[in-house]
């Protein structure tokens, strides 16, 4: 399986095992993430009795069939973060972008539905 894109709060995976869910799988971003037992135990939140990975930017609730099987639905797909190299970050607005956006050329390029547009 290949993580193809993120769309409408879902991870969209291309699935080569078509008999298991079709050619495309969608996993909601709010679903728990699958992890090995070591990762769960190193991210245990004893106050809430849950396993939460939190690096300050990302917060993921973790699940594993050995450690917390009551939180795992065996008929559901889970994303395993270690299997993918993905990092999503909000980039700052480049300096001068607002001035560009409000310039005649910026207005033209950023708003192709503008009646003065040649698009």
- Regarding pTM above 0.85, the answer is no
Q: Within a 10 A sphere around the Cβ of 87, how many other Cβ atoms? A: 7
pLDDT tens across 60-78, in order?
Answer: 889 999 888 888 888 888 8
48-59 pLDDT per residue, tens: 778 888 888 778
For every residue of 24-74, DSSP letters joined together read: EEEEETTS-EE--HHHHHTTEETTTTEEEEE-SS-EEEEE-TTT-GGG--T
Between CA 70 and CA 119 the distance in angstroms is 55
- Residues of the chain with pLDDT > 90, as a percent, come to 2
* Six-digit token string for 77: 């797909």
Q: Strand, helix or coil at 2?
A: strand
């Amino acid at each position: 399986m290949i993580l193809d894109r993120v769309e409408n709060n879902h991870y969209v995976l291309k699935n080569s095992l078509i008999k298991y869910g079709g050619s495309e799988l969608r996993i909601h971003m709010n679903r728990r993430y699958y992890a090995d037992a070591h990762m769960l135990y190193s991210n245990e939140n004893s106050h809430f009795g849950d396993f939460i990975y939190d690096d300050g930017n990302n917060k993921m609730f973790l699940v594993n069939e050995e450690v917390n099987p009551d939180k795992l639905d065996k008929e559901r797909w889970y994303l395993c973060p270690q299997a993918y190299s993905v990092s999503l970050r909000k980039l700052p607005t480049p300096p001068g972008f607002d001035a560009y956006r409000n310039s005649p050329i910026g207005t033209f390029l950023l708003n192709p539905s503008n009646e003065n547009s040649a698009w």
